[in-house]
Amino acid sequence: MPGQGVGGIANKDLSDEDFLLKVPESKMIYNKDHMSINGWDKWSGLVGGEQLMLWVLTEKLNENSDWKHYLNLLPSSYEEHLLMWNEEDFKYADMTGLYAHQQSVLNSLKQSYEHLQQTLVVDQPDLFPEGYFTFQRYVWSYLVVSTRAWSIAQRDGDRALVPLADMLNHVAGSGQGGTVSDEFVINSTRNYAAGEQVYDSYGPKTNFELLTTYGFIPENNPHDGAGVELALHPEQNLVHSIVEPLLRNVDPNYGEKVIVRKNQMPLALLRVFRLSVLKFSELDMVDDILKSKAVSLKNERLAFHEASNALRQLVAKYPSEEEELALLAKDDLNYKQKSAIRLRLENQRVFKNAISTLQTLWKNILIDGHLLNDV
Give the residue among 161, 164, 147, 212 at the shortest CA–CA distance from 56: 161
Sheet containing 178-180, strands listed edge to edge, beginning at the edge strand earlier in sequence: 19-24, 183-187, 178-180
pLDDT over 80 at 2, yes or no? no
pLDDT over 60 at 320, yes or no? yes
The pLDDT-based confidence of 369 (bands split at 50, 70, 90) is: confident
Q: Are 143 and 106 in contact (CB under 8 A)?
A: no
In this prediction the pTM is 0.93
Q: CA–CA separation, 5 vs 167, rounded Å?
A: 9
Phi, psi of 260 (to 5 degrees): -105, 125
Q: What is the mean pLDDT of the chain?
A: 94
Q: Which residues pair with 259 in a beta bridge?
A: 227
Q: CA–CA separation, 341 vs 344, rounded Å?
A: 5
The pLDDT-based confidence of 3 (bands split at 50, 70, 90) is: low
* DSSP code of residue 284: G
Q: What is the pLDDT of residues 129-188, one digit of tens each?
A: 999 999 999 999 999 999 999 999 999 999 999 999 999 999 999 998 999 989 999 999
Q: Are 246 and 272 in contact (CB under 8 A)?
A: no
Burial 23-48 (b: 16+ CB within 10 A, else e): bebebbbbbeebeebeeeeebeeebb
Residue type, 67: W
> How much of the chain exceeds pLDDT 70, in percent?
98
The residue ranges of DSSP E strands in the chain, in sequence order, are 8-9, 19-24, 29-30, 150-152, 158-161, 169-170, 178-180, 183-187, 197-200, 225-228, 258-261
DSSP 303-320: HHHHHHHHHHHHHHTSPP
Q: What is the pLDDT of residues 264-315, one digit of tens each?
A: 899 999 999 999 999 999 999 999 999 999 999 999 999 999 999 999 999 9
pLDDT over 70 at 342, yes or no? yes
pLDDT over 80 at 375, yes or no? no
Q: What is the pLDDT of residues 240-273, one digit of tens each?
A: 999 999 999 999 888 889 999 988 899 999 999 9
Q: CA–CA separation, 54 vs 133, rounded Å?
A: 10
Q: Are 351 and 311 in contact (CB under 8 A)?
A: yes
* DSSP code of residue 27: G
Whole-angstrom CA distances from 105 to 108, 143, 313 are 5, 11, 30
Q: CA–CA separation, 127 vs 133, rounded Å?
A: 9
Residues 6+ apart with CB under 8 A from 58: 37, 127, 128
